Each structure stands twice: as structure tokens, then as C-alpha cells.
A and B are shown apart, each in its own frame.
Chain A
Amino acid sequence: MEQLYLICRHREVPNLHQYETYIQKEQGYQALQQVLKLSRDEVIDIVKASGLRGRGGAGFPTGLKWSFMPKNVQGPVYLVINCAEGEPGTFGNHEIIENNPHQLIEGIIIGCYAIGATAAYIYHRGEFKYGAEMMQRAVDEAYKQGWLGKKVGGREDVSLDIYLHPEASAYICGEETAQLNSIEGYLGQPRLKPPFPAQSGLWKRPTTVNNVETLAHVPAIIRNGPAWFRQWGTEKSPGTRVYCVSGHVMRPGNYELPMNVTARELIFEHAGGIWKGRGLKGFIPGGVSAPILTNDHLDLPLDYDSLAGAGSMGGSGGVIVMDDQTDMAWLAKKMVDFYSHESCGKCSPCREGTWWQKNLLDRMMTGLARSGDVEMLEMVSEQMAGTCFCPLGESSQMVVLGAMKYFRSDFERYGQGKAYDGVIPMSAIEHH
């Protein structure tokens, strides 16, 4: 199937970062004008009917999430836009915010109207300096044109502010409750749920956290209706998704495709297949936290439910491809380095578990593995399963156990002084 640009509109429309282009070529802000004539529930119903699901990780239905927000509340209500894209293998938001910021901003304003938000915070990677400039410009333009501030689009009773909030590089802040703590100026550590953010979020006020790509889908869904959106993808995962392909492929990049595209088609047709004429050993279908899959899974459609059925997940849409010469113990080591560096330290299973995983894999890489280390790595990982406070630690055990499930021999060949024969990974980042 062909790429279909519902999100990456800038690939068809040059200069889409400019307000005039968005208005003239893309029916910019017409969806918002439509929305302002509807009730909040009507907007939520359209998004519910479209079947749009959150593109950030969990794939939760967006309309349903919005419907959890309490009605008729006095005082502030918030929308937080999760632009803390940091899941290794994921770079879709990065392209959207730099090139098509107005579509995102219009989606944010519509989302705010639907949930009754009085302010929105775009929580973005500190590293997205240029992307943040582009979003700020789009926000400034929206204020100038009367789409933000007091009397949004001329409606006396609707006012809204959008602020950009820079994070400073901490993976855990992609988790929604950690993100709320981070915005409030506390350590970015996750909160216990319940209460869920819809009841008690930012400053204990009703809050929804949505992903960038999710919100960018909203304007076209409003303009064209739910049936239009449902013509692509599957019944339960309609529409397109920006798949980020990296690793050992000939043509790495973002590919926006309907969500029934198979892994085989994405990797071998769009991304040009495996480099150096090699074969495929495994692929990660949804960012590093999604357990690794193999050649046997290539014909799976890359929708949320098919991937969950195969024991992995759609996650962030980051598809990382490994050729047949990849050492999966090395891969596990690189990932555990990441999780151990990014563990927020709040709960023991994650803080200590990732530390032990890292030590054991370090020993393997450097030729110091002892007999029983593979079993110990397995045991430590199993002890983390279901005991970590949030998905970060769980991901670390899933990555290791997932790799061991299909590629155990890669781990077992270490020992008796055998070390990794490539560039030995530097241990986690030293400075802090």
C-alpha cells in the first residue's frame, strides 16, 4: 500500500509551517470553526465514532479518554500535550512539530474545547529547540488570529491559553503522571493511580494528557467525519500512523501508513529491506519497550491488537530492525543501560533490578560472565515483572525476557572468558 499523508501533510504541501499556507491549502482552522458551533459532547462523539486511539503508547481510545473529564467544573481544567518523545526508535513527533505545527495547534484547541480546558501545556523534549520555536510561532500566530486567548473564534464564553513547557531530558517524564509532577516543578517521578489525571491531574485539577500525533489527527476527523477516517486501517485501529523505521534497513525514516500495513511491507518495501544483503533476525515493533519479534511475525498487521496478540505492542510506532548478525545479548545490554540510566529511583524493583541486569550484561560483554549468569539475569528480570511502580521498569524486564525467549543462545555463548567482539558498549552515561 501507498503512504498516505494525513499527519505528514507537509510532504505534499510545501511551506506548511506558515500560517497562510495552512489556511489556503489545508482548510486551516475550519475544523475549529465547525467545533465552536457544536456542544462538547458532540465533539467527543465524533472523535469516539472515528475510533481514534492514542498514538503515544497505550493506544487508549481518545474520545473515551476525553469523556472521562468531569462536566460543569468551576475553575481551571488542563490539557497536557505529551511531546516528550524519548522512546528509543521513535521520531514521528519530531518531524510533525518542525514541519506541520499548525495542524497540531488546531487539534490542541479542539481537544481543549472538547474537555473544557482553560489552558494547555505542550511538554516538549528540551532537545527540540527548533521544533519548539516552530510550535511557539504557530501559537503566536493563533493568538494573533483570535484562535487563542479570550473569546476563541469569537465565542464569548470560550477562552484558552497554550504554553510551551521545556523538559530537560528524562525519559520517565513521558509517563503521564511523572510529566505532571515535572510540570509542577517536582522530580519527574510517577504518581500512584488512581486518582487518574481526569479526576486529579495538574495542580489536582481535571487533566487530560494526549500525544502530539493523536491531536494532529483531530482537525481532519472533524472536517471529514468519522467514516472518512475509518476507511483506512482496521476496525479497532482505524486511520494512519507514522511508523518510524530505524536500524539495519536500507531506507530508514518516517512512513505514514494505514494501520493494517504488515511488518513485512513496512520493512521490506517501504524501508527497502535489510542492509548489506543480509537477512532479518528480529524487529521491535513499537519503540524499545515493545518486546522483540522475529521472522515469524512479519505478516502481522502493525495495529495495536495484532501486536498485543503476538505478545508485543504497538507502543510508540518506532520500528527498529536488526539484521542476522546482531547479537541480542548486546542489544539487551544497550537497552538495559538505557533503562538503568533513566530509572527515576522511586521504586526498588526498577532501581535495583535494572542495576543488576546491567551488571550481569556488563560481565557478559567484557568476558567476565560466570556460570549461572544467564539464569540469574532471567531470575532478576522475572522478579521485576509486575512489581515495578510504572511501565519503565516493566519495559526493562520485558526487553530482556523477550530477547531471551527467542535468542537465548546469544546469551549463553558468553562465559569462559568470551567477550563481545565488536565495540564494547560504554556503560551508562557517566556524568549523571
Chain B
Amino acid sequence: MLLEQRREKVEEILSHYPQKRAALMPMLYEAQEVYGYLTEEAIREVAAILELDPTEVYSVSEFYSLYYHKPTGKYIIRFCTDMPCALVGAEHAYQQLLNLLGLKNGETSADGLFTVEHCVCLAACATAPVLQVNRQFFENMTEAKMRELLETLRTSGLPEDGPVMKFQPRTADTPTGF
């Protein structure tokens, strides 16, 4: 399926490396997009393209956090609850997000729209609380902004991506969690 749908991209990735195996990480991203998540079939196809044993492909893919081995929602929300973010109330804000979604950490909504999980540092600590939707950043989150974001995703999908790191001075209504 990967080769059928993205042969050009696959060949381009392979051309970057002197050894096929090195294409494994970018190839897993492609496979994940084509198959939805890393199904057994996806793992087998990647292994075949790279002339590797499927077990090796599986073991590498399990090492990282951004490869999914189970079905996910259309939008994967990853919310940083690491220490610098937690200092300013990210764990509290994450609970608010879970409540808005009616989900527990790691779950996918019944309509197949959202998977939500917390994660470690996203390299955006000064704009905490911060989350990603399908690897696109949303920063300085409040309950109101998260409600609005979910509504936007439900009705019109992801907005256009752009530069982040929009630093904001703290105000009286900065969420604290303490």
C-alpha cells in the first residue's frame, strides 16, 4: 500500500542514505500516514522495502513515542505535563482537557475524532500550557482556548500551521494548578 500510494516519496527517502536501514524512521512516518497506524501489514511492508526482519522494524518503532501501534483518532492530541509546564499548572489544564473530551488519558473518542495523551517536553516551555494536534503546536492554553480548539477541529479541521513561541507575560488569570 505504501509503495502503491507513495512510491516517489519512498524512493526519495531511500536516496538520502547509503544504507536502506537508515530510512526506517522517515519510512515509519509515511507508513503511519498511509495505513493510519502501524498495523502488522504496515510493519511488514516497511520491513520488505528496507530488507529487514519485521521484528527489527517493530522493535525500533516501539522505542519511540510518535509511532502508534493501535488505531488512533483523526486528531492525536499530545499535552505536555513535564516539569517546567507542570510548574505553571499544566497537569491541572490537562485534566480540564480530559473533562472537555470526556476521555481518560490515552483514550480515543467513540466518534474516532480524538486520541488524547500527555507527554514529556515539547520544547515550548515558556508558552505552557502547550499541546500538539497532529504535531502542530497550540500554546498558552486555557480552558476557554481548549474548548474553542476542540470546536474548530470538529467543525473545520486543523487551522493553517505557522511559527509558534509567542511569548506572553503572565497575567492574573494565568492558570496555576496550585
Q: Could you tell me which A residues sit within 8 Å of B by CB distance?
A: 76, 85-91, 93-95, 98-99, 125-130, 133-134, 161, 163, 165-171, 182-188, 203, 244-254, 272, 275, 288, 318, 320, 322, 325-326, 331, 334-335, 338, 341-342, 344, 422-423, 425-426, 429-432
Nearest Cβ on chain A to B29's Cβ, whole angstroms: 6
List B contacts of A94 (CB < 8 A). Answer: 123-124, 164-165
List B contacts of A318 (CB < 8 A). Answer: 84, 125
Across the interface, do A127 and B87 meet the contact criterion of CB distance under 8 Å? Answer: no
**Complex interface bits, B123-164 against A, C-beta within 8 A gives 1, otherwise 0:** 111111000100111000000000000000000000001111
Across the interface, do B118 and A426 meet the contact criterion of CB distance under 8 Å? Answer: yes
**In the assembly, what is the distance between CA of A119 and CA of B177, in Å?**
47
Across the interface, do A246 and B121 meet the contact criterion of CB distance under 8 Å? Answer: no
Across the interface, do A334 and B82 meet the contact criterion of CB distance under 8 Å? Answer: yes
A338 — nearest CB in chain B belongs to which residue?
B120
List A contacts of B59 (CB < 8 A). Answer: 187
Jot down 13 A-B pairs with beta carbons below 8 A, ordered by A.
A85-B123, A130-B162, A169-B120, A171-B120, A183-B25, A186-B21, A246-B126, A252-B126, A335-B83, A425-B81, A429-B65, A429-B117, A429-B119
Across the interface, do A165 and B25 meet the contact criterion of CB distance under 8 Å? Answer: yes
Across the interface, do A95 and B121 meet the contact criterion of CB distance under 8 Å? Answer: no
**In the assembly, what is the distance between CA of A341 and CA of B81, in Å?**
13
Across the interface, do A320 and B83 meet the contact criterion of CB distance under 8 Å? Answer: yes
**In the assembly, what is the distance between CA of A203 and CA of B127, in Å?**
39
Across the interface, do A251 and B167 meet the contact criterion of CB distance under 8 Å? Answer: yes
List B contacts of A344 (CB < 8 A). Answer: 63
Across the interface, do A431 and B165 meet the contact criterion of CB distance under 8 Å? Answer: no
**In the assembly, what is the distance between CA of A98 and CA of B25, in Å?**
22
Across the interface, do B19 and A168 meet the contact criterion of CB distance under 8 Å? Answer: no
Nearest Cβ on chain B to A18's Cβ, whole angstroms: 13
In the complex, B55 has a CB within 8 A of chain A: no
User: Contact check: which of A95, A169, A320, A426 meets B87 at CB < 8 Å?
Assistant: A320
Q: Knowing A76-B18, A187-B59, A250-B170 are in contact, say whether A426-B91 is a contact too (CB < 8 A).
A: yes
Across the interface, do B120 and A342 meet the contact criterion of CB distance under 8 Å? Answer: yes
Across the interface, do A166 and B29 meet the contact criterion of CB distance under 8 Å? Answer: yes
**In the assembly, what is the distance between CA of A186 and CA of B86, in Å?**
32
Interface residue range, chain B: 35 or more
List B contacts of A90 (CB < 8 A). Answer: 121, 123, 125
Nearest Cβ on chain B to A78's Cβ, whole angstroms: 10
List A contacts of B88 (CB < 8 A). Answer: 247-248
Across the interface, do B16 and A99 meet the contact criterion of CB distance under 8 Å? Answer: no
List B contacts of A130 (CB < 8 A). Answer: 136-137, 161-164
List B contacts of A186 (CB < 8 A). Answer: 21, 60
**In the assembly, what is the distance between CA of A203 and CA of B16, in Å?**
13
**In the assembly, what is the distance between CA of A161 and CA of B12, in Å?**
13
Q: Could you tell me which B residues sit within 8 Å of A by CB distance?
A: 16-19, 21-26, 28-29, 50, 52, 59-60, 62-67, 78, 81-84, 86-88, 91-92, 95, 105-106, 117-128, 132, 135-137, 161-165, 167, 169-170, 174, 177-178
Nearest Cβ on chain B to A17's Cβ, whole angstroms: 8
**In the assembly, what is the distance between CA of A161 and CA of B17, in Å?**
11
Smallest CB-CB A-B distances: 3 pairs:
A253-B167, A168-B64, A252-B126
**In the assembly, what is the distance between CA of A168 and CA of B62, in Å?**
10
**In the assembly, what is the distance between CA of A346 and CA of B78, in Å?**
27
Across the interface, do A322 and B120 meet the contact criterion of CB distance under 8 Å? Answer: no
Across the interface, do B178 and A422 meet the contact criterion of CB distance under 8 Å? Answer: yes
Q: Knowing A88-B125, A168-B29 are in contact, say whether A129-B135 is a contact too (CB < 8 A).
A: yes
**In the assembly, what is the distance between CA of A8 and CA of B177, in Å?**
32
User: Contact check: which of A89, A182, A253, A423 meets B25 at CB < 8 Å?
Assistant: A182
Q: Knowing A98-B165, A430-B105, A430-B106 are in contact, say whether A129-B25 is a contact too (CB < 8 A).
A: no
**In the assembly, what is the distance between CA of A127 and CA of B131, in Å?**
11
**In the assembly, what is the distance between CA of A341 and CA of B118, in Å?**
12
Across the interface, do B165 and A126 meet the contact criterion of CB distance under 8 Å? Answer: no
Nearest Cβ on chain A to B100's Cβ, whole angstroms: 17
Across the interface, do B121 and A429 meet the contact criterion of CB distance under 8 Å? Answer: no
List B contacts of A169 (CB < 8 A). Answer: 64-66, 119-120
Across the interface, do A167 and B122 meet the contact criterion of CB distance under 8 Å? Answer: no
Across the interface, do B84 and A320 meet the contact criterion of CB distance under 8 Å? Answer: yes
Across the interface, do B29 and A86 meet the contact criterion of CB distance under 8 Å? Answer: no
Q: Knowing A91-B165, A168-B65 are in contact, say whether A246-B87 is a contact too (CB < 8 A).
A: yes
Q: Knowing A203-B19, A338-B120 are in contact, say whether A98-B26 is a contact too (CB < 8 A).
A: no
Across the interface, do B67 and A168 meet the contact criterion of CB distance under 8 Å? Answer: yes
A331 — nearest CB in chain B belongs to which residue?
B83
Across the interface, do A184 and B170 meet the contact criterion of CB distance under 8 Å? Answer: no
List B contacts of A85 (CB < 8 A). Answer: 123
Across the interface, do A246 and B64 meet the contact criterion of CB distance under 8 Å? Answer: no
Across the interface, do A203 and B82 meet the contact criterion of CB distance under 8 Å? Answer: no
User: Contact check: which of A170, A184, A254, A322 meets B63 at CB < 8 Å?
Assistant: A170
